[in-house]
């Protein structure tokens, strides 16, 4: 089965230009296309001569997870910017759980901001661990590494340069992270968390 790029309805954002969002969505579409292409190519190589092409197929399989990560993480990222900025409802299941763990509803955001500041491309991600019943914040390098295996994502913050270089330049990550949280629709995160209950 091939994957299809999703569409997103993002209205005017504060501090993140339409041009930046448009270019970013084109990059996302590239991940979807590449994942499909690599799957198809690996199938062709296997069918042609599985033994002779084993190394090439192995490399395609290894890199395919990078493309998948890029596809799926952006499908978490863009909807968070749909519908305009919405504050976290402190009385929601998510707000209550965040307060219980961090002592304040902003605790996870603070940790996400800290990890977003790490050098190199990646994602600062808020996960929920349903086994320990606690939040974990992690940093996924590139798109496919550094994840907490199987944990559902509540908020995915893209801190690759392509997310901010157009608006803020190469050293503008901090301003972009401020803009991301200023535009964040916490209602999307609340729905993700509520669906896990």
Contacts of 152 (CB under 8 A, 6+ apart): 127, 128, 130, 192, 196
By CB under 5 A, how many residues form the interface with Fe ion?
A: 2
Instruction: For Fe ion, give the closer residue by CB, 154 or 157.
Output: 157
Q: What's the min distance (Å) between Cβ of 89 and Fe ion? A: 28
How many other β-carbons are positioned within 10 Å of the β-carbon of residue 173? 20
Site for Fe ion in 78-137 (CB under 5 A): none
Q: What's the min distance (Å) between Cβ of 145 and Fe ion? A: 15
Q: What's the min distance (Å) between Cβ of 120 and Fe ion? A: 14
How many other β-carbons are positioned within 10 Å of the β-carbon of residue 69? 19
Residue of closest CB approach to Fe ion: 158
Q: Name residue, tokens 């961090």.
A: 102
Q: What's the min distance (Å) between Cβ of 152 and Fe ion? A: 20
Site for Fe ion in 152-181 (CB under 5 A): 158, 160
Q: For binding to Fe ion (CB under 5 A), which residues are involved?
A: 158, 160
């Amino acid at each position: 089965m091939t994957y299809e790029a999703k569409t997103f309805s993002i209205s005017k954002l504060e501090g993140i230009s339409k041009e930046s969002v448009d270019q970013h969505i084109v990059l996302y579409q590239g991940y979807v296309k590449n994942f499909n292409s690599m799957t198809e190519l690996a199938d062709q190589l296997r069918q042609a001569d599985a033994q002779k092409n084993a190394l090439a197929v192995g490399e395609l399989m290894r890199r395919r997870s990078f493309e998948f990560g890029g596809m799926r993480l952006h499908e978490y990222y863009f909807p968070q910017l749909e519908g305009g900025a919405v504050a976290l409802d402190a009385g929601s299941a998510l707000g209550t759980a965040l307060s219980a763990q961090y002592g304040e509803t902003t605790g996870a955001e603070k940790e996400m901001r800290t990890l977003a500041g790490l050098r190199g491309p990646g994602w600062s991600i808020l996960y929920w661990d349903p086994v320990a019943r606690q939040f974990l914040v992690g940093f996924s390098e590139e798109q496919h590494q550094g994840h907490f295996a199987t944990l559902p994502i509540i908020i995915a913050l893209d801190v690759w340069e392509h997310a901010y270089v157009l608006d803020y330049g190469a050293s503008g990550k901090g301003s972009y992270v401020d803009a991301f949280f200023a535009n964040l629709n916490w209602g999307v995160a609340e729905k993700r968390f509520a669906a896990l209950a």
